[in-house]
């Protein structure tokens, strides 16, 4: 049977017979065919050699990556200098934080569309490959493993710190530079990985902001801290407790379970301790219920939530009346940056209202693009190094990273719910 790249036997050469005599006739008849095949193969090899010599090596433009793909030491990969440049994104596309993930995906795509319309990077277009981490550690690990197996050059990932943390070693071993738009647990940059870089300020900054606000603005003497046992929320609660030492008494340090619906027992216990302020460091689904149930039990303490709960859904779950006056420690959002006045209308036109981390994700996309441009190649190791050494002006302000991957200029603001809307009461330092 003729297969791919193989010519069918010439008619008249393949003879069939029976017994030994037939097989001998067939063998003799095949000799001319074999000799002809050898001659044809020799001619083909010589012809290809001549063509290769005449064609010569094509000259590569200066600064352009080579057209080969190679696996280098330490997992560094040079991708083909043809077609689109693939950038990975691992975000919560399903689950309770899906809206945040979609907002960030939209912002990244918006940035890539703008860059591609201007000619792309290194003469090639940027293409986004999205995987879902569902804010779940196991799902995030599976998504990270899938991303690193692809021909991606860099990654934008990290909303839930607890889901992102176990993926860091995967990206490190693959030599992939990562820009983290939202996740900000202090532990994320304490692993010693040169590939991990945070756009957001860290929990250390957030804890200081929360403690200062409760003590200085609210005059709180007794504070109750509630977390959800995730790496991010537990860390933020612990750091806040440290910041309150010698300034206010921490009368409760309690944990809830993500997905839990009934907090009446916990809140009844807290009510008896008469806190002046309650700070919940988890996410908006549980935060909204805690606010609603606390007010339902007659708890009058002022309530603050962390940036994981910074979403309008918090007010919808709690009810506008119950949420009135609730404070939120937050990374600055789209409306808080002086550079966002032109950006917001462009985002609205494509996707509607930006989310709390849309600007951060948009800036992360530009960091990756600029790093590839500065590296002059799509080699993973070179791009990761360029990310760490980046120095650009983003919508969120100047972006550069410390030697451990934290943003050099990071800060938190404070919002309060007024008439059902988030209102800035302590803004970005000018």
Four-point Cα dihedral 157, 159, 163, 165, nearest 10: 60
Q: Which of 309, 333, 331 is nearest to 395 (CA)?
A: 333
Please tell me the predicted confidence (pLDDT) of residue 382.
Answer: 99
pLDDT of 391 higher than 50: yes
Kindly state the tokens that stand for 95: 């689950």
Number of domains in the chain: 2
What percent of the chain has a predicted confidence (pLDDT) above 90?
74
For the cut 90, the answer to whether the pLDDT of residue 8 exceeds it is no
Burial 356-385 (b: 16+ CB within 10 A, else e): bbbbbbbbbbbbbbbbbebbebbbbbbbbb
Say which CATH number the domain at 180 has. Answer: 3.40.50.2300
**Structural domain harbouring 222:** 204-330
b/e 269-288 (16+ beta carbons within 10 angstroms → b): ebbeeebbbbbbbbbbbbbb
**Top-confidence residue, 267 or 55:** 267
231/165 Cα distance (integer angstroms)? 9
How confident is the model over 346-364, as pLDDT tens digits? 999 999 999 989 999 999 9
Q: Tell whether 220 and 299 lie within a shared domain.
A: yes
pLDDT-derived band of residue 333, with 50, 70 and 90 as boundaries? confident
Predicted pLDDT at 337: 80
Distance of CA 48 to the CA centre of its chain: 47
> Does residue 386 lie in a domain region?
yes
Identify the band that residue 429 occupies on the pLDDT scale cut at 50, 70 and 90: low
pLDDT higher than 70, residue 76: no
Contact between 414 and 402 under an 8 Å Cβ cutoff? The reply is: no
pLDDT exceeds cutoff 70 at 110:
yes
Distance, in Å, from the CA atom of 121 to the CA atom of 365, rounded to the nearest integer, reads 12
Confidence band, pLDDT 50/70/90 cuts, at residue 421: very high
Helices (H), 223-283: 231-244, 264-273
**3 found inside a domain:** no
pLDDT in tens, 13-47: 233 333 333 333 334 344 443 444 443 444 443 34
User: Are 248 and 159 members of one domain?
Assistant: no
- Assess whether 194 and 118 both reside in one domain: yes
Residue 233 has pLDDT above 90, yes or no: yes
Residue 165 lies in a domain: yes
Q: Distance between CA 39 and CA 51 in Å, rounded?
A: 19
Q: With bands split at pLDDT 50, 70 and 90, how would you rate the model's confidence at 81?
A: low
Shared domain for 136 and 180, answered yes or no, is yes
**CA pair distance 176, 76, nearest whole angstrom:** 8
Cβ-Cβ contacts under 8 Å for 405 (sequence gap 6 or more): 188, 189, 193, 194, 196, 197, 198, 388
Q: Residues 329, 237: contact at Cβ < 8 Å?
A: no
Q: What is the predicted pLDDT for the residue at 195?
A: 99
Bridge partners of 426? 414
Please calculate the CA angle 174-390-117 and round it to the nearest 5 degrees.
Answer: 90
- Asked whether residue 211 is assigned to any structural domain, the reply reads yes
Q: What is the mean pLDDT of residues 304-328?
A: 96
**DSSP string covering 74-107, please?**
GG-EEPPSSSPEEEEEEE--SSTTHHHHHHHHHH
Residues 91 and 108 in one domain: yes
Residues 83 and 182 in one domain: yes
Residue 317 and residue 346 in one domain:
no
Q: Compute the average pLDDT of residues 250-257.
A: 98
d(CA 127, CA 104): 15
What is the rounded CA–CA span in Å between residue 46 and residue 38?
12
Tell me the range of 94-98, 121-125, 333-337, 409-413 where mean pLDDT is highest: 121-125
Let me know whether 185 and 219 are in one domain.
no
First vs last Cα of the chain: how many Å apart?
78
Q: Lowest-confidence range among 75-89, 91-105, 290-304, 318-332?
A: 75-89
Phi, psi of 131 (to 5 degrees): -125, 150
Same-domain status, 138 and 284: no
- Look-up: residue for tokens 């996707």? 351
How large is the average pLDDT for residues 60-68? 31
pLDDT by residue (tens digit) across 180-192? Answer: 999 999 999 999 9
Q: Which of 330, 346, 366 is the last residue of a domain?
A: 330
Last residue of a domain, one of 305, 330, 355: 330
Do 263 and 322 lie in one domain? The reply is: yes
Looking at the fold, whether 315 and 348 belong to one and the same domain comes out as no
Question: Which contiguous run of DSSP H or E holds residue 291?
Answer: helix 284-296
Q: 212 or 12: which carries more pLDDT confidence?
A: 212
Q: Please, are residues 407 and 198 in contact by the beta-carbon 8 Å criterion?
A: yes
Residue 363 placed within a domain: yes
Asked if residue 26 belongs to a domain, the reply is no
Asked whether residue 426 is domain-assigned, the answer is: no
Domain final position from 301, 330, 359: 330
Query: Which has more confidence, 231 or 375?
Result: 375
Same domain, 231 and 301: yes
Structural domain contains residue 416: no
Average pLDDT over residues 281-299: 97
């Amino acid at each position: 049977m003729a297969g791919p790249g193989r010519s069918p036997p010439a008619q008249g050469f393949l003879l069939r017979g029976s017994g030994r005599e037939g097989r001998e006739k067939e063998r003799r008849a095949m000799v001319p065919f074999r000799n002809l095949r050898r001659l044809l193969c020799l001619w083909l090899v010589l012809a290809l050699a001549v063509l290769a010599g005449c064609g010569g090596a094509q000259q590569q433009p200066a600064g352009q990556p080579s057209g080969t793909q190679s696996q280098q030491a330490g997992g560094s990969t040079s991708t083909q200098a043809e077609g689109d440049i693939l950038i990975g994104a691992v975000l919560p596309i399903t689950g309770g934080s899906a809206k945040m993930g979609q907002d960030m995906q939209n912002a990244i795509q918006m940035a890539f569309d703008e860059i591609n319309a201007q000619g792309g990077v290194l003469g090639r277009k940027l293409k986004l490959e999205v995987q879902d981490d569902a804010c779940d550690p196991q799902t995030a690990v599976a998504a990270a493993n899938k991303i690193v197996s692809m021909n991606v050059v860099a990654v934008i990932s990290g909303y839930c710190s607890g889901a992102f943390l176990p993926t860091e070693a995967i990206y490190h071993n693959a030599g992939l530079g990562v820009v983290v738009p939202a996740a900000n647990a202090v532990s994320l940059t304490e692993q010693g990985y040169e590939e991990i870089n945070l756009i957001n300020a860290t929990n250390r900054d957030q804890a200081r902001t929360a403690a200062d606000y409760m003590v200085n603005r609210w005059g709180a003497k007794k504070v109750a801290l509630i977390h959800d046992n995730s790496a991010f929320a537990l860390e933020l609660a612990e750091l806040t407790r440290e910041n309150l030492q010698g300034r206010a008494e921490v009368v409760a340090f309690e944990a809830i379970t993500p997905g839990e619906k009934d907090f009446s027992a916990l809140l009844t216990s807290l009510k008896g301790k008469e806190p002046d302020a309650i700070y919940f460091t988890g996410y908006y689904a549980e935060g909204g219920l805690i606010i609603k149930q606390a007010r339902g039990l007659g708890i009058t303490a002022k309530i603050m939530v962390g940036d994981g709960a910074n979403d309008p859904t918090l007010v919808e779950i709690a009810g506008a009346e119950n949420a009135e006056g609730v404070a939120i420690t937050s990374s600055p959002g789209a409306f808080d940056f002086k550079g966002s006045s032109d950006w917001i209308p462009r985002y609205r036109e494509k996707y509607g209202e930006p989310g709390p981390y849309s600007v951060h994700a948009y800036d992360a996309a530009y960091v990756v693009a600029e790093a590839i441009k500065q590296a002059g190649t799509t080699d993973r190791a070179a791009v990761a190094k360029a990310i760490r050494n980046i120095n650009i002006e983003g919508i969120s302000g100047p972006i550069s990273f410390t030697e451990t991957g934290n943003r050099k200029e990071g800060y938190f603001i404070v919002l309060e719910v007024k008439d059902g809307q988030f209102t800035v009461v302590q803004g970005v330092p000018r």
